[in-house]
Amino acid sequence: MAETVYLPITPPAEPAKSLPNAVLTEEQEKMQRDVQKHFEDPQYTLSAEKPLMDVEKMWLSYECILRYLRASKWKVDAAIQRLEATLKWRREYGVYDTITAEHVEPEAVTGKQILLGFDVHGRPGLYLIPSRQNTAESPRQVQVTVWMLERCIDLMPPGVESLALLINYADKAKNPSFSTSRTVLSILQDHYPERLGLALILNVPFLLNAFFKLITPFIDPITRQKMKFNPKVIEDGIFSADMVMSQWWGGACNFEYDHDKYWPALVALCNERTKIWTENWQKMGGKIGLREYDYKRGAPDLVDVLAADVPASTSVPDASES
């Protein structure tokens, strides 16, 4: 039997199979520059009270601008409006200050959302396990999803811009309400465009199937195309066996959720990666429009992070201890 895994998997330095990068036309390159210049204007402020923070300038990367341009069908004014709407939302929603690991941790203790492994294109796998729901419906249930989306981005290797969502509705899952589902969908579509690479869904019961039909009109057509029901993730070449859970998904990774081991390791790994990326970004000039591919270099291995930041209790125990 495979050794039990309790910790996140270190992101690959490079994805196993790089997704083809679309070559931009001269007109599209100009559109990117036009959007970038809008935010680079020395007189630009997002609000009268507060200009752009460094973390927001770093967020406004070359790739970010392109994601919003593609989502806006290459309309410069629309892309600018969407970027500004997201910048304001990130401030107001508390992405940088309110939605912290400490704030959302009560939602995470049962492992109802787990970041583990990477598909063959290097996209981090975010597992949603509704049967492990442990709290009453509240804004924090949405906030923990946003926190996990941000951590997915932290774990994306250079050149990877999207995630793989794996949802299992087995074991009498407690399904989110229509209102909560619409809120999450709205956030994903409005403020994380082009971030969903795949949505893999298992064991959809009859009532939930009806629910999906109810919310389908609120899902944009591109997102709908990324949804796959009851896939065979290994046979279909989506994941390698060592990168996907053995439970439910048929992989070779014998993962067991132990919050006291997994959670501090995930937080430490993401913190260290963003720290290094921020330092790289600052060394490159700390400007809007720098490429994520360039500053997402020199990311640490989980073993090194654990040795420095996480108590010894988070280490993977021997099989005799599990």
Torsions phi, psi of 201, nearest 5?
-130, 125
Q: Domain-by-domain residue ranges, the chain?
A: 106-260
Q: What integer best gives the mean pLDDT of the chain?
A: 88
Position 214 pLDDT exceeds 80: no
* Tens digit of each residue's pLDDT (9 = 90 or more) over 167-194: 998 776 666 777 788 899 899 999 999 9
Greatest extent of the chain over all pairs of C-alpha atoms, in Å: 63
pLDDT tens-digit profile of 104-139? 999 999 999 999 999 999 999 999 998 999 998 999
Q: Which single residue is written with the structure tokens 């439910």? A: 248
CATH 2.60.40.10 fits 106-260, yes or no: no
Q: Which pLDDT does position 229 carry in this prediction?
A: 87
Q: Which runs of E-coded beta strand occur in the chain?
A: 113-118, 124-128, 163-168, 196-202, 227-229
Distances from the Cα of 51 to the Cα of 46, 86, 87, 242, 288, angstroms: 6, 15, 11, 45, 13
Q: Within 10 A of 170 (CB to CB), how many other CB atoms are there?
A: 14
Task: Between 38 and 222, name the one with better pLDDT.
Answer: 38
Q: What is the pLDDT of residues 273-304, one digit of tens each?
A: 999 999 999 999 999 999 999 999 887 777 67
